Structure 1
Amino acid sequence: MQRKLVVICLINFLIAALMGLALRYASINPIGFNYRFLTHAHSHVAMLGWVYLMLFTLIVHYFVEEKKPVFNKLFWITEVAVVGMMLSFPFQGYAAVSITFSTLHIFFSYYFAYLIWKHHKIMNLPARYLLKTSLVFMVISTIGVWCLGPAVSMLGQASAFYQIAIQFFLHFQFNGWFLIAVIALFFHHIKLKDCKQFRLFFKLLIVSTILTLALPINWFAPHIVLYWINGAGVLIQFVALIMFLVLIKPYRISFLNEHSKLTVYMYSFAIFSFVLKTVLQLASLVPEVSLAAYQHRNFVIGFIHLTMLGVISGFLFSFILQSKLVLNDKWLHGGIYAFVLGFVLTEILLMVQGSMFYFESGFMPNYYFLLFLFSVLLPLGIVLIIINILKYKNHETSMLKALST
Structure 2
Amino acid sequence: MQKKFILVCLINFFIAALMGLALRFSVLESIGLNYRFLTHAHSHVAMLGWVYLMLFTLIVHYFIPDKKPIYNRLFWLTEFAVIGMMISFPFQGYAAVSISFSTLHIFCSYYFAYLIWKNQETKSLVTNKLLKASLLFMVLSTFGVWCLGPAVSMLGQASAFYQIAIQFFLHFQFNGWFLIAVIAVFFHVLQIEDSKLFRSFFKLLIAATILTFALPIQWFAPHKALLFINALGILLQLASLYTFLKIIKPKLLDHVSKRPKILLYLYFFSVVCFSLKTLLQALTLIPEFSIVVFEHRNFIIGFIHLMMLGIISGFLFSFILNTRLVRFTKSLYIGVYSFLLGFILTEMLLLIQGCKFYFEEGMLTNYYLLLFLFSILLPLGILFILLHIIKTKYDAKQTTKTS
Q: TM-score, normalised by structure 1?
A: 0.97
In structure 1, the partner of 2:127 is 127
| Offset of residue 11 of structure 1 | 0.3
| Offset of residue 293 of structure 1 | 0.2
CA distance in 2, matches of 1:78, 1:248: 33
CA distance in 1, matches of 2:247, 2:176: 20
In structure 2, the partner of 1:399 is none
1:58 is aligned with what amino acid?
L
Q: Which protein has greater RCO, CA pairs closer than 8 Å, 6+ apart?
A: 2
CA distance in 1, matches of 2:31, 2:289: 34
| Offset of residue 259 of structure 1 | 2.2
In structure 1, the partner of 2:398 is none
**Are 1:211 and 2:219 an aligned pair?**
no
In structure 2, the partner of 1:104 is 104
**Are 1:330 and 2:338 an aligned pair?**
no
CA distance in 1, matches of 2:107, 2:293: 34
| Offset of residue 262 of structure 1 | 1.0
In structure 1, the partner of 2:301 is 301
| Offset of residue 328 of structure 1 | 0.7
In structure 1, the partner of 2:114 is 114
1:288 is aligned with what amino acid?
E
Measured against aligned partners, the alpha-carbon deviations of 1:64-121 in whole angstroms (never above 9, x if no partner) come to: 0000000000000000000000000000000000000000000000000000001101
Measured against aligned partners, the alpha-carbon deviations of 1:320-362 in whole angstroms (never above 9, x if no partner) come to: 0001101110110000000000000000000000000000000
In structure 2, the partner of 1:82 is 82
CA distance in 2, matches of 1:263, 1:43: 27
CA distance in 1, matches of 2:45, 2:12: 6
In structure 1, the partner of 2:70 is 70
- 2:190/2:252 contact within 8 Å kept: no
2:337 is aligned with what amino acid?
Y
In structure 2, the partner of 1:401 is none
1:357 is aligned with what amino acid?
F
| Offset of residue 273 of structure 1 | 0.4
Partner SS state of residue 73, structure 1: helix
Q: Which moved more, 1:115-124 or 1:253-262?
A: 253-262
Alignment of 1:92-171 (within 5 A): 92-171=92-171
Partner SS state of residue 258, structure 1: coil
1:201 is aligned with what amino acid?
F
Partner SS state of residue 265, structure 1: helix
| Offset of residue 191 of structure 1 | 0.4
Measured against aligned partners, the alpha-carbon deviations of 1:272-328 in whole angstroms (never above 9, x if no partner) come to: 100000000011001111000000000000000000000000000000000110111
1:175 is aligned with what amino acid?
N
In structure 2, the partner of 1:289 is 289
- 2:256/2:263 contact within 8 Å kept: no
1:260 is aligned with what amino acid?
P
In structure 1, the partner of 2:196 is 196
Alignment of 1:308-387 (within 5 A): 308-387=308-387
1:63 is aligned with what amino acid?
F
Measured against aligned partners, the alpha-carbon deviations of 1:4-47 in whole angstroms (never above 9, x if no partner) come to: 10000000000000000000001111110000000000000000
1:359 is aligned with what amino acid?
F
Measured against aligned partners, the alpha-carbon deviations of 1:249-287 in whole angstroms (never above 9, x if no partner) come to: 221331231322111111111001000000000110011
Aligned residues: 396
CA distance in 1, matches of 2:15, 2:110: 25
In structure 1, the partner of 2:9 is 9
In structure 1, the partner of 2:18 is 18
Q: TM-score, normalised by structure 2?
A: 0.97
Unaligned ranges ≥5, structure 1: 397-405
CA distance in 1, matches of 2:154, 2:18: 36
CA distance in 1, matches of 2:2, 2:58: 10
In structure 1, the partner of 2:37 is 37
CA distance in 2, matches of 1:253, 1:304: 29
CA distance in 1, matches of 2:191, 2:130: 13
Partner SS state of residue 278, structure 1: helix
Partner SS state of residue 392, structure 2: helix
Structure 1 pair 233/264, CA: closer, same or farther in 2 (3 Å)? same
**Deviant stretches of 4+, over 6 Å:** none
CA distance in 1, matches of 2:252, 2:277: 22
**Identity across matched positions, percent:** 66
- 2:25/2:372 contact within 8 Å kept: yes
